[in-house]
Amino acid sequence: MFNIEHKDAQIKHDGAKFYIVPGTDSKGASIDLSNYPVVFVTWYGAAAYCNWLSRKAGLQPVYTKDLNSYHMDFFLDERVGSIEGYRLGLAVEWRYAARGGAQGRPTRFAGSDNGLEIGWFSENTRNTSGTSRLYNPSRDDWSGTMPVGKKLPNELGIYDMQGNVAEYLHDRSFRGDSYSSGVSMISLDYFSNAHPNNDNNITGFRIFRTAIGTPTLPSSQLSPSGVKPNDLSTSTSSFKASPNYRFVPLTGLVNLRAIVRSPDKFIIAGNGAIPYTSKDGLTWSVGPKVPVLHVTDLAWGNGIYVATGDGGGLAVSRDGITWIAQNSGSRNHLASALWTGSQFIVTGQNGTILASQNGTNWITIPSGVSSHVMDIAQTKEGGTLVAVTYDGSALVSQSGASWRRISIGIGSGT
């Protein structure tokens, strides 16, 4: 998990319990590392720790395990609002927290325009007293991690969102830079992909947890800089509901993933494929189950509702209440649906693109890619279609019948 066999690991096991190994700083003085961020941890180790912490708290673990690998949930962002267990953060959550929330000032770094005020970088850790001895000893250029919470927090009261250690995210990228980064070269938007088996002395992780109901954790109790060896606290932020919104409790719904609006109603659905309908968004009625495994998206056009599902599932309805299963011709998980003004376009895993004018007869459209086609949008009805893929590219089409791949210039999984 934390690779306790590594010679520089901060955590060891004596056969009965784990303990923290004292360290030596760049000046040769003995230091207690219990308030330093964990390093030499793999993505799998971070996922395992999240699961352990969830079980300890009586919560459902987020990550599933097959042999020695913890599986990443590709649809976590779609059902994150109903997940209670501890987990690694989504990229959008990390950026929100780093920028100081919805009202955060547009600063260059996480809470300041001066990076050295908010984080530990190569400029302020090199040969500094209290720095753990981790970096470049051959050049007599000692740098390393520093105790957490010693710099200024951002506007959400969160410390060390940048510097000290880079942080694994759920999509197996990492963000936040580290003590080995030069402050002049970094930005809040920088990220890099990480192999889940890699461990090193500049990467750790920060725990996230969805705020179910009313958050109670004040910002003063937030974990300052990722996970420390002796710290079981979480680093979340409290999201306050807008006074223009009302919370409408619904029973029987599991992991909402889709919503559609037609001229006379809203329909919502998700895992379990039980739809709810509403005319005003306040009063909801439960309908019969949609005949798919899970509803992944909903679309409406030409008087027809279309629901997509896992495993190639498709269903149509004229009233949003009674649904009829359709043969999509695909066994790939479907991810999104759109009415273009003349036809429905559905996308999914392994480059899947399907088209139908009536929701009943579906044809497969060659996409030219093998990556998952995650979502689709249109400039206007009858206009240009753009789909995004998991490998970090876009597909563009004028008619939906032929698609052209365009590189966006971002990494896979983004």
Residue with tokens 């850790």: 125
- DSSP β-ladder status, 203-205 and 166-168: parallel
pLDDT at 193 over 90: no
CB contact at 8 A, 86 and 209 = yes
Give the amino acid at 96. Answer: Y
CB contact at 8 A, 120 and 135 = no
Q: Whole-angstrom Cα distance, residue 99 to residue 97? A: 6
Q: Whole-angstrom Cα distance, residue 74 to residue 6? A: 31
Average pLDDT (320-347) is 95
pLDDT at 75 over 80: no
CB contact at 8 A, 32 and 55 = no
pLDDT digits (tens, 9 = 90+) for 162-191: 999 999 998 888 899 899 889 887 878 777
Q: Which residues, in sequence order, are CB contacts of 250 under 8 Å at separation 6+? A: 276, 284
Q: Whole-angstrom Cα distance, residue 172 to residue 175? A: 10
Joined together, the tokens standing for residue 284 give: 């909801």
- DSSP β-ladder status, 385-389 and 393-397: antiparallel
Query: Chain-wide mean pLDDT for the chain?
Result: 82
Read off the pLDDT band of 412 (50, 70, 90): low
Backbone angles phi, psi at 42, to 5 degrees: -85, 165
Determine the 3-state secondary structure of 75 from DSSP: coil
Read off the pLDDT band of 230 (50, 70, 90): very low
pLDDT digits (tens, 9 = 90+) for 97-119: 998 887 777 888 998 989 999 99
Partnered with residue 269 across adjacent β-strands are: 258
Using alpha carbons, select from 331, 288, 339, 289 the residue that is nearest to residue 313.
331
Query: Which of these ranges, 23-37, 83-97, 376-390, has the smallest mean pLDDT?
Result: 23-37
Q: Whole-angstrom Cα distance, residue 414 to residue 412? A: 6
Entry pTM:
0.52
State whether the Cα torsion 33-34-36-41 is positive or negative: positive
Determine the 3-state secondary structure of 302 from DSSP: coil
Q: Whole-angstrom Cα distance, residue 188 to residue 175? A: 8
DSSP state of 349: G
How many CB atoms are closer than 10 A to CB 106?
7
Altogether, the residues listed in the chain come to a count of: 414
50 membership: H or E segment, kind and range: helix 43-56
